[in-house]
Structure 1
Amino acid sequence: MDNQVYYRGTWAEVDLGAIEQNIKSYQRYVSDDVAVMAVVKANGYGHGAVAVAEKALKAGVEYLAVAILDEAIALREAGIEAPILVLGWVPPIYAKIAATNNITLTVFQEKWLEEASIVLDDMLLNIHLKIDTGMGRLGIKSEKEAKRLIDSLALSPSFQVEGVYTHFATADEPENSFMEDQIERFETMVSYLKQYGLQPRWIHLGNSAGAIRSPKRVGNLIRLGIAMYGLSPSQEMKSIQTFELKPSFCLYSQIVHVKEMREGEPISYGSTYRSSEGEWIGTIPIGYADGWIRKLSEAYVLVNGERAPIVGRICMDQLMVRLPSKVKVGTKVTLIGKEGSEEITIDDIAERLDTINYEIPCIIGPRVPRLFHENGEKKGVMNTILKK
């Protein structure tokens, strides 16, 4: 919400201009007849679903995608009228709710169609058929299953097959050829469906990585997820990526307490850290309840452009750092972002946690407000004690 006031001394900043730039980079990369679906599930990968969706639509995307029906309804309640696809399985008893809100559902089960048609009565529901070409998660696996679905669709006027799609399992591994096998399986299945008269408007295979690797064989719609937020799908993808992605997420806090320590004084739970004489320790109001988990206890933050190592165990709501020198209460702290010549990236944090970059912004919890900005203009006001 514009001009909302937050009272938390810890916050994230999301650069909507960077998100637009990343979308346009993909639009230039793929064919002119390929549209973009912006994936804003999991609260926009932790960036803020509504704000990202609004910016993506202004940037020219034609479709939005979420994981669950609740996320789609939340977008509708926020006033977003664009087409929305739910990528995950939705219980058939909620088919009417989806139709009422003009939300498209993913379908791949004959029984689901039978149960949903009863609920829908005379309402029309847009659906996308999901093909499992090797992900092993959701989808139609065989021509036999597809034929049963086609027969069920023929018995009910309640469904409009608007799209058909699959999902790559190894697109972010450039040396792995399994993606080509999946493309071939998908194209075979689509040809089979067309024999029975199914001519969906949208054919989509490509995620962020798949669209980079095979821009001419991803159908007429790409699902832009992690790359829209300025993050490469994998470290290996960076070597074949021909355009720049601009990260859009930064995480900040502030020093709320500063103390000079004596030799051997303990810090935090378990007294795992003992200070040196004359050491300056700063307390920062972020902890594992915010997603800055205890495994990051050996990481560092940036204070006045210098590295300040985290010392002792990270607490639920706070952590302590060894300061390079005495600083004022209210001094800004960077946990993800750039200060001077130093930078901490989401990839840095992911590597430290032995995970993927997707996970990092997603685990930054709802207690951390998101402030959105573009072209130097911020939406939202931090009522903090930051030094001027």
Structure 2
Amino acid sequence: MDNQEFYRGTWAEVDLDAIEQNVKSFKKYVSNEVSVMAVVKANGYGHGAVAVAQKALRAGAEYLAVAILDEAIALREAGIEAPILVLGWVPPIYAEVAARNGITLTVFQEKWLEEAASILGKTLLNIHLKIDTGMGRLGIKEEDEAKQLIECLATHSSFYVEGFYTHFATADEPGNPFIEIQIDKFEKLASFLKENGLQPKWVHLGNSAGSIRVPKRIGNLIRLGISMYGLSPSQEMKSIQPFKLNAAFRLYSQVVHVKKMMAGEPISYGSTYHTSEGEWIGTIPIGYADGWIRKLSDAYVLVNGERAPIVGRICMDQFMVRLPSKIEVGTKVTLIGKEGSEEITIDDIAERLETINYEIPCMIGPRVPRLFKEYGEKKGVMNTILKK
């Protein structure tokens, strides 16, 4: 842990070179006319929004996307000048804040336009119109709604319609034909908008899964989210991935206490585990307050390349493991990552928790510092950058 600037024995490592390679792989896979929008919402899916955004832009991404205005402002405050789209709904009273910071907003409501226009005055705001083609979340559904928006936009000079987009609901299910229905709905409504005078610079349909499945039918911009971080959009997508994805996230801690136990001694809250004679127990300083939730109490970690099962209930800040043998305090522990011939992947944790891989890095909280790693100019030398 070179250049350490934190004070606990738990940290995550983010391989920025993996981010770069994943962006470049997608750029090579899709048409030359298609650009990349790097999705860095939720603190870059738990990887660190600023560092990931900077690396993605250097790798060739042209646009960034976040979920809320606060995330976009944070990127601007970090000195990032690239275009940023907020994918979620932003209260119209903050339209001027977005415009002042050069941030593009998602729009799909006539009332929103009216309220925002009264605040913006002569200030120009970039917007992307969201079309709901079957996600049922946000967006324009019918031509009547689109017509109202067109009429409203025609009466106000405060808006520049820079893009149209939609979001696929089942793109990560290769056997599900619903993606075709969504594409058809989008094309019809987008054509109606264009016929009535709106000519967007950007048209984007494809998330990571959609960009893999239908790379020639996703407009001229892809929204690269989960796969930018080296994770497949679903288990079913793995068999059709056209190139290797490089996982960027690893999670480590260390053993801070080791004790030899007698038979029948209880471990942790509720005394749910009792030791065997001569068993070695190690304490690891990470717990459910860091996102390593209690449901993982039947999981294991890697210590010196061997599996060490978690025993007893995971506490708020610590948990205990059954060690393969006596080890030294300070020994590194791998919670996500590879050690010797053993590996624990994010997909392994997601399967154990009966959820999707997206959720795992997102749930590792801000108490866990991120160490960003990338190769320097001298090949083989790693630079370590800490971002809290």
Taking structure 2 as the reference length, the TM-score comes to 0.97
Gaps of 5+ in 1: 383-388
Match of 2:75, SS state, is helix
Residue 382 of structure 2 is aligned to residue 380 of structure 1: no
The equivalent of 1:266 in structure 2 is 266
Residue 356 of structure 2 is aligned to residue 356 of structure 1: yes
The equivalent of 1:162 in structure 2 is 162
Match of 1:190, SS state, is helix
Moved more, 369-378 or 242-251: 369-378
Match of 2:325, SS state, is coil
The equivalent of 1:202 in structure 2 is 202
Alignment of 1:106-121 (within 5 A): 106-121=106-121
Structure 2 Cα separation of the partners of residues 80 and 53 of structure 1: 8
Instruction: Give the percent of matched residue pairs that are identical in Structure 1 and Structure 2.
Output: 80
The equivalent of 2:90 in structure 1 is 90
> Conserved in 2, the CA contact under 8 Å of 1:5 and 1:381?
no
Residue 193 of structure 2 is aligned to residue 193 of structure 1: yes
Alignment of 1:183-262 (within 5 A): 183-262=183-262
Residue 178 of structure 2 is aligned to residue 172 of structure 1: no
The equivalent of 1:52 in structure 2 is 52
The code of the aligned residue for 2:61 comes to V
Q: Give the deviation of 1:3 after TM superposition.
A: 5.0
The equivalent of 2:144 in structure 1 is 144
The code of the aligned residue for 1:144 comes to D
Q: Deviations over 1:225-257 (max 9, x none)?
A: 000000000000001111000000000000000
Q: Give the deviation of 1:377 after TM superposition.
A: 1.6
Q: Deviations over 1:153-191 (max 9, x none)?
A: 000000000000000000000000000100010011111
The equivalent of 1:385 in structure 2 is none
The equivalent of 2:327 in structure 1 is 327
The code of the aligned residue for 2:129 comes to L
Structure 1 Cα separation of the partners of residues 180 and 26 of structure 2: 21
Match of 2:367, SS state, is coil
Match of 2:105, SS state, is strand
Cα distance change, pair 15–235 in 1 and its aligned pair in 2 (3 A): same
Match of 1:93, SS state, is helix
Alignment of 1:296-375 (within 5 A): 296-375=296-375
Structure 1 Cα separation of the partners of residues 294 and 4 of structure 2: 31
Match of 2:276, SS state, is coil
Q: Give the deviation of 1:381 after TM superposition.
A: 9.7
Q: Give the deviation of 1:197 after TM superposition.
A: 1.0
Cα distance change, pair 304–3 in 1 and its aligned pair in 2 (3 A): closer
The equivalent of 1:292 in structure 2 is 292
RMSD of aligned alpha carbons: 1.1
Structure 2 Cα separation of the partners of residues 147 and 31 of structure 1: 32
Match of 2:169, SS state, is coil
Residue 82 of structure 2 is aligned to residue 76 of structure 1: no
Structure 1 Cα separation of the partners of residues 295 and 387 of structure 2: 31
Structure 2 Cα separation of the partners of residues 378 and 360 of structure 1: 23
> Conserved in 1, the CA contact under 8 Å of 2:205 and 2:219?
yes
Structure 1 Cα separation of the partners of residues 325 and 383 of structure 2: 33
- Structure with greater contact order relative to length (CA < 8 Å, sep ≥ 6): 1
Match of 1:14, SS state, is strand
> Conserved in 2, the CA contact under 8 Å of 1:6 and 1:381?
no
The code of the aligned residue for 1:161 comes to V
Structure 1 Cα separation of the partners of residues 387 and 332 of structure 2: 15
Match of 1:6, SS state, is coil
Match of 2:361, SS state, is helix
> Conserved in 2, the CA contact under 8 Å of 1:3 and 1:381?
no
The equivalent of 2:17 in structure 1 is 17
The equivalent of 2:379 in structure 1 is none
Q: Give the deviation of 1:380 after TM superposition.
A: 2.8
